[in-house]
Structure 1
Amino acid sequence: MRRARGFTLIEVLIATVLLAAGLTLAFATITGATGATRHGEATAASNEHIRAVEGFLRRRLAGARAVSFQIDPSTGQAMRFAGDAERMRFVSDLPDYIGRGGPSVHDLRIQRMASGDGVRLTLGLVAAQPGDATAAVDREPEVLAENLRSVEFHYRGVGEDGKPAEWQDDWTTTEQLPLLVEIRITGEDGKPWPVLDVAPRLAAAYATGITR
């Protein structure tokens, strides 16, 4: 009667190596799939945040009112829209789900992060008051986006020929609304957000004297 032949040491070693290689490949595949899923989820969340911020800003700027929120002490004129490279102020209605809603002075600011790396975009809100809205801020400024590489504000009005003028970094004609407002944002990763160009609906009408 023949005795059953067992595995040799070489065969056991080969089997062990193959098993280890298979497990390593399976682990790498699972790790890669998990990383891809997490990256996809992070990208989706980032894109959703970008859409939410830009959608909010678009609606508020498009609905900007030709309402005085402050009197310019140097000229005595009513200020209806004030903007420079780092700050923008205007009156627009808030939806009811944000506090009590109604017309409020929107105070958009570009601020340097405390760490010194990057900037953030904040929004302060003040209830609009007749004539001069210099009341205290209703709440602490909200951070719309942070850890940004850069944010730029640009404004465009009407030239002397009645056509759109060149873009400028400062809106000095504070008694009027600009025809166009542009916001350019670059994320922390260096990728630019979609350029936000908004035309306040009342700007053209107010510029031609239709509304007061």
Structure 2
Amino acid sequence: MRILQGARGFTLIEVMLAILLLAVLLAAAFGGIRSAVKGMHFGEDLMDRTNRLRVAQEFIRHQVSRILPLPFGQETGTGENLLFEGKRDLMRFVAPMPGYLSNGGAYVQTLELSNTRNGRQLLFNHWMLNGFDKDKLNKGDSEPVVLMDQVESGKFEYRKLDDQGELEDWSDDWDEPNLTPVMVRIELKMRKEALVGWPDMEIPLMLDVGAARQSNTVRFDDILPREGMAVPPNNASGSTR
């Protein structure tokens, strides 16, 4: 009589090895998917930061190059017109705003490097020239726009012509507020988290510098408001027409 023997099954060790191999394959697959997703997010962040940098530089170049020799105030004591305020971390000037961002006309505009917990930020703000009073500015009156963040350090520099018409060296302190500079330079060093670097900007003004020198004949009080606008306060006491 022949006895049929049952088929031999897997041993416990073989089952455990198969499960271990399957776990390794699944871990490798999930690791690959995670790396792909992480790489995709990094690429999207890099593209977003690059586009933001490009838009910020184009906007700054457009505004600074179109600075107008229009006064936004007067110096205390001397009564001289304030056409341009330039410091290492702030510049203030008058220029037209793009039509899609305003109602047209001249606006007082500022670029500023401001300190935050996550580094410095490049901020932009603007106010209508009519009725503008530098001494009455409040931070809550207008919310600045963050052009760039994750800035480690930076500075604004300015250049002018000497008496012989030659370009002088760059300076981070503009000492002739009744004149406009010939060129403006913006240097920023970005933090590692920013993912992008800031190419230094050297922006020549489209306006002839001679016009800025002649603009001293136009006083701040003589700028007439547009129809429907409030009349700016008379800061020069006792001035005559």
TM-score bin, normalised by smaller chain:
0.7 to 0.9
Percent of residue pairs bearing the same amino acid type: 29
* Closer, same or farther: CA 151–203 of 1 in aligned 2, 3 Å: farther
Aligned residue pair count = 208
Structure 1 counterpart of 2:199, one-letter code: P
- What secondary structure, in the 3-state scheme, does the structure 2 residue paired with 1:18 have? helix
Match of 1:12 in 2: 15
Equivalent pair of 2:179/2:213 in contact (CA under 8 Å) = no
- What secondary structure, in the 3-state scheme, does the structure 2 residue paired with 1:55 have? helix
Match of 1:23 in 2: 26
Q: CA–CA distance in 1 between the matches of 2:122 and 2:112? A: 6
Deviation at 1:33, TM superposition (A): 0.7
- What secondary structure, in the 3-state scheme, does the structure 2 residue paired with 1:79 have? coil
Structure 2: gaps (5+ residues): 218-241
Superposed CA offset, 1:51-95 (max 9, x none): 121111110001111212222224332222110112211111111
Equivalent pair of 2:69/2:212 in contact (CA under 8 Å) = no
Match of 2:169 in 1: 166
Q: CA–CA distance in 2 between the matches of 1:21 and 1:142? A: 50
Paired residue for 1:94, among 89, 92, 97? 97
**Which 10-residue stretch deviates more, 82-91 or 99-108?**
99-108
Paired residue for 1:110, among 110, 113, 122? 113
Alignment of 1:62-211 (within 5 A): 62-113=65-116, 115=117, 118-129=119-130, 133-134=132-133, 139-189=142-192, 192-206=197-211
Instruction: Work out which of the two has the higher radius of gyration on C-alpha atoms and give 1 or 2.
Output: 2
User: Which structure has the highest strand share of the two?
Assistant: 1
- What secondary structure, in the 3-state scheme, does the structure 1 residue paired with 2:192 have? coil
Q: CA–CA distance in 1 between the matches of 2:39 and 2:64? A: 37
**Which 10-residue stretch deviates more, 14-23 or 4-13?**
4-13
**Which 10-residue stretch deviates more, 150-159 or 11-20?**
11-20
TM-score normalized by the length of structure 2 = 0.76
Q: CA–CA distance in 2 between the matches of 1:14 and 1:188? A: 48
Structure 1: gaps (5+ residues): none
Equivalent pair of 1:184/1:192 in contact (CA under 8 Å) = no
Structure 2 counterpart of 1:206, one-letter code: A
* Closer, same or farther: CA 207–93 of 1 in aligned 2, 3 Å: closer
TM-score normalized by the length of structure 1 = 0.85
Equivalent pair of 1:95/1:102 in contact (CA under 8 Å) = no
- What secondary structure, in the 3-state scheme, does the structure 1 residue paired with 2:100 have? coil
Q: CA–CA distance in 2 between the matches of 1:83 and 1:181? A: 9
Q: CA–CA distance in 1 between the matches of 2:165 and 2:212? A: 10
**Which 10-residue stretch deviates more, 3-12 or 176-185?**
3-12
* Closer, same or farther: CA 208–72 of 1 in aligned 2, 3 Å: closer
